[in-house]
Structure formats: structure tokens, C-alpha cells
Amino acid sequence: MEKVVKKGKIKDLKNNYLFWKSRSYLERLEATEEIRNEYNNWKYGSKQRFQRILRVINKPKN
């Protein structure tokens, strides 16, 4: 996939919807995944880890 950068006026943003609507499901999914990866690299650095989740459960006594 080749990166393309286009500059335009803010009033032309309505065409953005038409552009993505014209793309296939797979192309939209790949673009979403690329955005997610870019955000994670920016937010968390190159090392992505699972978030730790802890839950305390009180067991009833028999």
C-alpha cells in the first residue's frame, strides 16, 4: 500500500465520506487497522502489552 497525502479545504470534507463509501470493506478495515497501530505506537510506544485486569471476588463461606 502506498501512502498518499492530499491537502484540501475544510469545506471539502463532505467528500471524505463519499471517498470511504466508495472503498471496499477490506480497504476500510485495513485503513482502520493502520490508524489503530499508529495511535498505539504514539500512545504506548513500540511495545504493546495487554492491560492488567484484576477482580476481587468474595467467596461465600459454606
Distance separating alpha carbons of residues 13 and 10, to the nearest angstrom: 6
- For residue 31 the three cell numbers come to 485503513
Q: For residue 44, give Cα distances in angstroms to 47, 53, 54, 60, 62.
A: 7, 17, 21, 40, 45
The pLDDT tens digits for 36-59 are 988 888 887 866 667 778 888 888
Distance separating alpha carbons of residues 48 and 33, to the nearest angstrom: 14
Looking at every residue in the chain, the average pLDDT score rounds to 82
The pLDDT tens digits for 12-38 are 667 778 888 899 999 999 999 999 988
